Amino acid sequence: MNKKISLGATITLMIMAAAVTFSMTMIYYMDVFNGKVYNLKERETMYSKLSELDRIVRANYIDEIDEDALNEALADGYVIGTGDKYARYFTPEEYESYMVDLEGRVVGIGVSAQQDPSGYILVNEVYADSPASMVGLQAGDLIVKVDDLDVNAETYQQAADAIRGEEGSKVNITYRREAEDTTIEVTRRKVDIPTVFSRIIDGNIGYVQVTEFNESTATQFSNQVDTLIGQGAQALVFDMRNNGGGTLSSVTKMLDKLLPEGDIISAEYKDGTVEVLAKSDENEIDLPMVVLTNNRTASAAELFTQALRDYGKAKSVGVTTYGKGTMQTVKKLNDGSAVNVTVARYLPPSGVSYDGEGIKPDYEVELTADMEANLENLDETTDPQLKKALTALYRAVSVFYVSFSSPCRRYGRCTPARAYPCRTAPRPDGQPSPARRSRAPPSAAPLRSECCCPEGSPPAFRYSPLRPAWGSR
């Protein structure tokens, strides 16, 4: 009797559980169905309106409609209408050009150019180790003929396109320099577009300007940073002003070279999930660093800045950055066109998004409108932001100028009476370390008294007595 009742109860419970499961399943699928119906209704409304508009226009428009142009405009309008300010629709031709730009390599003669007021092609820059540089083409030259095509205002774009071609093919270029025309034959090949420019400032400060991030930027960056260090750079300035960003893979490779082991960047998606996109290894460059920023420093350039700050590797100088902290992905359509759409929000190592806010600098220094307009012509003597960066580096590493023929340019003659004592550095446990006397290079005379300036140093000798107060790990 009891067994029968227990069996009946068990069956009843199973039926109830099945009913509950069925109910919950039905509720779930009803929600999904209702959502799909809602989306279908929304789409039906959109398509219905578009169909009505198309019918009215075709029935009344006096001229013929360019169907290809109409379709491209419809696609472009849809993307604009989403409200995604970073989304973009690419025609097949635009998409192809976009992918070439991302690669950072072009097949051509290796020049940057623009249209001259007369309609000619004005050479702005000749890339290093390019076919153009090999045949003597120079910045400022005017290209007046490409093969048999005379360059003018009407043919400019055609001529500019004709300079590019298949790798290994040849093109005849006629250029004008000081009112004299010269024709040269140039063999086209793949050329890396320069995006990194560097030099030594004040003897031992490495200056690195990055104009954008494409797939060749990381290699350029690594090679030039290594060169600067090989030339004796004791600190680094990274100029990210007017850098609008670029590829994520490029900036993460660059940061991996500079940062210790840890996360570089994460992405937060629409559903709230967070994914680590890139990590750095244990290898790092242990030098003091400063990053220059302005209100046109955006996207990958902001990530570069914030990641270095989050790890305590660098300070920033300038003004608040643009505030683009979102990730876009490009999806190719069946006809060769493509759409670039925002899919996630970037999270730097700290996990705090800078999207819509920008990155406020550690040292705020503004430029005048004239300085901003002529930024490329400023240097360490005329650029207030760069001068502030150098000051911060000098303070961090206790860098001194010493002249054999004159007193110390920064702190006066190094004598016992005007001794500049060596600083102390904290131990890893936070306790103060005993003061340590810095070791002068073999070429310098022994230190004098408690002074950190080597007596008898050669002119313009630069000396870093300690590791930086910030930026060392």
Residue 291 and residue 355 share a domain: yes
What is the rounded distance in angstroms from the CA atom of residue 41 to the CA atom of residue 107? Answer: 49
Strand partners, 363: 317
- Say whether 37 sits in a helix, a strand or coil: helix
> What is the domain count for the chain?
4
CB atoms < 10 A from the CB of 110, how many?
A: 26
- Report the alpha-carbon angle 373-377-378, nearest 5: 95
pLDDT of residue 164: 87
Residue 285 and residue 212 share a domain: yes
pLDDT of residue 451: 39
User: In this structure, what CATH number is given to the domain that contains residue 236?
Assistant: 3.90.226.10
Residue 426 and residue 386 share a domain: no
What is the rounded distance in angstroms from the CA atom of residue 158 to the CA atom of residue 119? Answer: 12
Kindly state whether residue 79 falls inside one of the protein's structural domains: no
- 266's enclosing H/E stretch is strand 262-269
pLDDT of residue 193: 87
Residue 311 and residue 386 share a domain: yes
DSSP states along 293-318: E-TT--THHHHHHHHHHHTTSEEEEE
Residue 404 and residue 354 share a domain: no
**417: containing domain:** 400-462
Cβ atoms 463, 453 nearer than 8 A: yes
Closest to 407 (Cα-Cα) out of 398, 418, 397, 396: 418
Cβ atoms 209, 198 nearer than 8 A: yes
Kindly state whether residue 113 falls inside one of the protein's structural domains: yes
Closest to 204 (Cα-Cα) out of 229, 240, 222: 229
Residue 168 and residue 212 share a domain: no
Residue 374 and residue 231 share a domain: yes
Residue 282 and residue 210 share a domain: yes
Cβ atoms 467, 425 nearer than 8 A: yes
Whose structure tokens read 């007046």?
A: 144
From first to last of its 473 residues, what are the pLDDT tens digits of the chain? 444 456 666 666 666 665 555 455 555 545 544 444 446 667 777 788 888 889 999 999 999 999 999 999 999 999 999 999 999 999 998 898 888 888 877 888 999 899 999 899 999 989 988 999 999 999 999 999 999 999 999 999 999 989 988 899 999 999 999 999 999 999 999 888 899 999 999 889 999 999 999 999 999 999 999 999 999 999 999 999 999 999 999 999 999 999 999 999 999 999 999 999 999 999 999 999 999 999 999 999 999 999 999 999 999 999 999 999 999 999 999 999 999 999 999 999 999 999 999 999 999 999 999 999 999 899 999 999 999 999 999 877 654 333 333 334 333 333 333 333 333 334 344 444 443 333 333 333 333 333 344 433 333 333 333 233 333 23
What is the rounded distance in angstroms from the CA atom of residue 363 to the CA atom of residue 391? Answer: 11
Cβ atoms 35, 28 nearer than 8 A: no
Which two tokens mark 57? 């226009």
CB atoms < 10 A from the CB of 296, how many?
A: 16
- 363's enclosing H/E stretch is strand 363-364
* Residue 49 CB burial class (10 angstroms; 0-12, 13-18, ≥19): exposed
Domain boundary among 191, 210, 239: 191
pLDDT of residue 312: 95
Kindly state whether residue 153 falls inside one of the protein's structural domains: yes
Residue 36 and residue 184 share a domain: no
**Buried-exposed string 375-397: b where 16+ CB fall within 10 A, e elsewhere:** beebeeeebebbbbbbebbbebb
What is the rounded distance in angstroms from the CA atom of residue 53 to the CA atom of residue 402? Answer: 78
Kindly state whether residue 467 falls inside one of the protein's structural domains: no
Instruction: Count how many residues are written for the chain.
Output: 473
pLDDT of residue 404: 32
Kindly state whether residue 85 falls inside one of the protein's structural domains: no
Residue 354 and residue 208 share a domain: yes
* Residue 5 CB burial class (10 angstroms; 0-12, 13-18, ≥19): exposed
Domain boundary among 390, 408, 436: 390
User: In this structure, what CATH number is given to the domain that contains residue 123?
Assistant: 2.30.42.10
Cβ atoms 311, 259 nearer than 8 A: yes
pLDDT of residue 107: 86
Domain boundary among 175, 191, 207: 191
What is the rounded distance in angstroms from the CA atom of residue 213 to the CA atom of residue 215? Answer: 7
pLDDT of residue 106: 81
Kindly state whether residue 471 falls inside one of the protein's structural domains: no
What is the rounded distance in angstroms from the CA atom of residue 343 to the CA atom of residue 254? Answer: 23
Closest to 209 (Cα-Cα) out of 375, 399, 324, 382: 375
Cβ atoms 400, 410 nearer than 8 A: yes
Residue 185 and residue 200 share a domain: no
What is the rounded distance in angstroms from the CA atom of residue 309 to the CA atom of residue 326? Answer: 19
Residue 436 and residue 294 share a domain: no
